[in-house]
A and B are shown apart, each in its own frame.
Chain A
């Protein structure tokens, strides 16, 4: 009886997994073996690994995803740490999460308004005497907006890790004569590392496949793998090549998961 119960409970999850995780991935892998003439072939993969265009694009994507993750991390860790010290931390955390309730497209358009020639940023630059600059369609503005969008996804796991940290460890470290920096370096940071890793997982992979922002903010000056997939599926109708890039992204995701995966789960984040 109990066994059957458990099985029944698993059913919705199993169905979900099969329909929305396994089936799409299987379809992508299947599609990636077909060329434009619908013949079964490995040519998509050989094109990918032989074409300077795609390899450069991959390198670009990884580089920009790395930069975005790096900046997100540099901003998120201190922020999470600071919020955790505050009195009304739940409230401050809510403020951090709030922007994620707004559609990413709306946020992108808001940034277009801020960064454009007649936008707020340029009005300010004119005001302090520098004069209007080209902000939109630069790599810097692309990284800035992408970082802004990813920050909440990095802050949350780090905050949770800080929350899980037993204060007794910190007290013990102080009692044993460690300075603030030593406490942070040898106690707090290592113990919250799983949160950082979870944050990297949540930021790096989506950054690899960003596509709306590359066009709206970056003006397609940065071409990521995500842009290429969008292009192959919507404009060039080369689903095989699009799927191939999709498979490569999935492999990249697994690699990142393995690299950042935590060895022991108990101190980890509730995910």
Chain B
């Protein structure tokens, strides 16, 4: 018994020491110090050289923590105990965080780079006056095809996927909103519709696509497409950019009749503590040179008009990732629907998946 007690006391002492050392280390590395900026970002979603440059110019040290889904980020910020100064949620999550009072409004008088942004990506439904968010990167939903199996130019529209030629040839991204949205867009409907009849019709249309669907998978699509496992896939442009970089037979098409426009945004969570560093960083990232460098590193489309002009012509004029104006006009940002409405999308999507 005595030995047990001394063991427990010893363990407690070690725990205490570790806690003290941890606190000390954290203070010296600066996540709670004053010359720092705590950035909560997706993995590998910023050029590390820019962070060094920012530190050199402003002497603020940037601590980066990463998340892998909007929901994970939301939960962590909502639970508190974190000190994130900036986070990068997608558009629907901006609306959700706004409603949950997790965001601080931007002080426009302290932003110097606002005019660099393309108005197309400002003032969208999730934040109509950009009171809380600045666009970081944007992209689309589209079709990826492999030119070893599909003749270039034969797949341009959603409807082409329904062709009998592509039996058991298509991979879909496992996402209710996107796949239901694709069916809606193919019928000329809005991807934000809440009309139950239209949604039901979209589900019935999807069911007719079932024989052509090889698999409904998540991130693995990248790996499968790179390995020539399937001729066609429906996925987001960001994922497509990675696939195209690894396999030169792959191409990306945004159907001109309509698709989703997604925007990742910089926001200031309620937990932010380093005001000056935040605005220094927002202005630094809005500078065309920096935004262009970041866009080249990440490979996504930049909403910064001045930065886009600085990109190499081959990137700038690539209609796969910077679609022409007509297509751009038909793109829709997902509206933040109520839980019951999202529930309807999910139920119908699940029914479609059961029909495989």
A→B interface (CB under 8 Å): 36-37, 53, 56-57, 112, 116-118, 134, 136-137, 215-216, 218-221, 223, 228, 231, 234-238
A238 in complex: contacting residue of B216, B218, B346, B354, CB < 8 Å: B346
Query: In the complex, what distance in Å separates the CA atom of A216 from the CA atom of B350?
Result: 17
Which residue of A is nearest B340, CB measured? A36
Q: Which A residues are in CB contact (< 8 Å) with B227?
A: 116-118
Cβ–Cβ contact A219 & B217, under 8 A = yes
B350 in complex: contacting residue of A116, A118, A231, CB < 8 Å: A231
Binding stretch for chain A, among B38-46, B168-176, B240-248, B262-270: B168-176
Q: Does B343 contact A (CB under 8 A)?
A: yes
Cβ–Cβ contact B343 & A118, under 8 A = no
Cβ–Cβ contact B174 & A220, under 8 A = yes
Contact A220 to B343, CB < 8 A, known contacts A57-B354, A117-B228, A228-B350 = no
Which residue of B is nearest A215, CB measured? B217
Q: Which B residues are in CB contact (< 8 Å) with A218?
A: 215
Cβ–Cβ contact A215 & B214, under 8 A = no
Given A37-B339, A220-B356, A238-B343, 8 more pairs with CB closer than 8 A:
A53-B351, A57-B354, A112-B220, A117-B227, A220-B215, A234-B69, A235-B346, A238-B339
Q: Which A residues are in CB contact (< 8 Å) with B223?
A: 112
Cβ–Cβ contact A236 & B354, under 8 A = no
User: Considering residues B220, B339, B343, B354, which has the most beta carbons from chain A within 10 angstroms of its beta carbon?
Assistant: B354
Cβ–Cβ contact B214 & A137, under 8 A = yes
CB distance from A9 to the nearest CB of B (A): 12
Cβ–Cβ contact B343 & A36, under 8 A = yes
Q: What are 30 pairs between A and B in contact, CB < 8 Å?
A: A36-B339, A53-B347, A53-B350, A53-B351, A53-B354, A112-B220, A112-B223, A116-B229, A117-B227, A117-B229, A134-B168, A134-B214, A136-B229, A137-B214, A215-B217, A215-B220, A216-B217, A218-B215, A219-B215, A219-B217, A220-B215, A220-B216, A221-B215, A221-B356, A223-B350, A236-B343, A237-B339, A237-B342, A238-B343, A238-B346
Interface string of B127-171 (1 = CB under 8 A from A): 000000000000000000000000000000000000000001001
CB distance from A217 to the nearest CB of B (A): 10
Considering only residues 303-356 of chain B, those with a C-beta below 8 Å from chain A are 339-340, 342-343, 346-347, 350-351, 353-354, 356
Q: Which A residues are in CB contact (< 8 Å) with B71?
A: 234, 237
B217 in complex: contacting residue of A56, A220, A228, CB < 8 Å: A220
Contact A56 to B176, CB < 8 A, known contacts A134-B168, A136-B229, A221-B215 = no
Q: Which B residues are in CB contact (< 8 Å) with A223?
A: 350, 353-354, 356
Cβ–Cβ contact B346 & A219, under 8 A = no
Instruction: Kindly list the 5 A-B residue pairs having the minimum CB-CB distance in the complex, ordered from nearest.
Output: A219-B215, A220-B216, A36-B339, A236-B346, A221-B356
CB distance from A124 to the nearest CB of B (A): 18
